Amino acid sequence: MKVYKGLHEIKKPFHRPALTIGNFDGVHLGHQALFRRVVELAGPRKGNTVALTFEPHPMKVLRPQSPPKLISTMDHKVELIAQAGIEHLIRLFFTEELAGTSAHDFVYTILHQTIGVEDVVVGYDYAFGKGRQGNISFLQAMGYKLGFKVHVISPVLVEGMVVSSSNVREYVTLGEMKKVRLLLGRYYQIRGIVKKGICRGGPVVGFPTANLRIDKEDLCPKPGVYVVRVIHQDRSYGGVMNIGYNPTFGGQDLGAEVHIFDFEKNIYGHPIKLDFIQRLRDEKKFSGPEELAGQITKDIETARLVLTESKDL
């Protein structure tokens, strides 16, 4: 997939393109439905498949005091969009100037003149332009004048749940990882660099851990203990992860540490990925390292059983 970091990198309109537009945070099953429709429309005429997204998330510009916590990083989003079969991704830098662009100018200048769309695929609740004045009816009217068709994708429902980024965020913060997986069509994943911790896991408790930094803007699952899949250098390992404050040792800062099964490498400074399989329990305070170690032993036994029963692991 070719990625364009701005409209200036597009030298001429695409070949008979089908396009979809959105933030695509999480690239959940609803977004995947948009991408599938783009591929279906462009395929028979051998046209280009194109997606247009924004960077940063528009709410970081429009509501800087309370921006949403993102489900996926931009790098992860790019990977997932490429896996969906999109050939060209436009990363449009979102600024106050862009936010002030009228719906008419957005369609005429960007979609029509720059991209040359023949088909536009949008979600059922799509709105755009200054103050979100442009709606689907307006887009369809512009399409009639300029010669492109508009295709509207209905809400995607899974077990009675509407698939949306806001619902994914809600279930992540509640620790409902099974529901999150249903909405995403995959496990929720966080990525990070292993950092030096207090080094208490191995010497004191008997279970060495890899520590990750959690920033305030990260979408963090509810504190507790989770069964995870750890991916390091394209190899997958089982593990148990604790997200919380280490109350047994009087911790005050939110942290994340994972014990990786059957793993003895030194990975300080290495990037790892963690898929959240299932939440096991709340974090709690123990009387000391011995009682904590006993509980971790039980958590590991349970986690191994969960991993064994997960057919796609």
Beta bridge partners of 259: 240
3-state secondary structure 30-82: HHHHHHHHHHHHHHHHCCCEEEEEEECCHHHHHCCCCCCCECCCHHHHHHHHH
Residue in this structure with the two tokens 């931009």, named with its chain if needed:
74
Residue pLDDT, tens place only, 240-291: 999 988 765 556 577 899 999 999 888 999 999 999 999 999 988 777 778 8
3-class DSSP assignment, residue 96: helix
The answer to whether residue 73 scores a pLDDT higher than 50 is yes
Q: What domains lie within the chain, and their CATH numbers?
A: 2-158 (3.40.50.620), 187-309 (2.40.30.30)
Helix (H, G, I), strand (E, B) or coil at 305: helix
User: Is the predicted pLDDT of residue 52 greater than 90, yes or no?
Assistant: yes
Cα-Cα-Cα-Cα dihedral of 110, 112, 118, 120, to 10°?
Answer: 40
SS3 label, residue 158: strand
Which residues lie below 8 Å from residue 54, measured CB to CB, with a gap of 6+? 23, 91, 92, 93, 94
Tell me: the pLDDT tens digits for 124-145? 999 999 888 899 999 999 999 9
Local structure of residue 218 (DSSP, 8 states): B
pLDDT at 313 over 80: no
pLDDT digits (tens, 9 = 90+) for 172-225: 999 999 999 999 999 999 998 998 765 444 444 568 889 988 777 789 999 999
CA torsion, ordered 213, 269, 266, 202, to nearest 10 deg: -20
**Full-model pTM:** 0.90
Query: Collapsing DSSP states into helix, strand and coil, what is residue 125?
Result: coil
In the chain, the percentage of residues whose pLDDT exceeds 90 is: 73
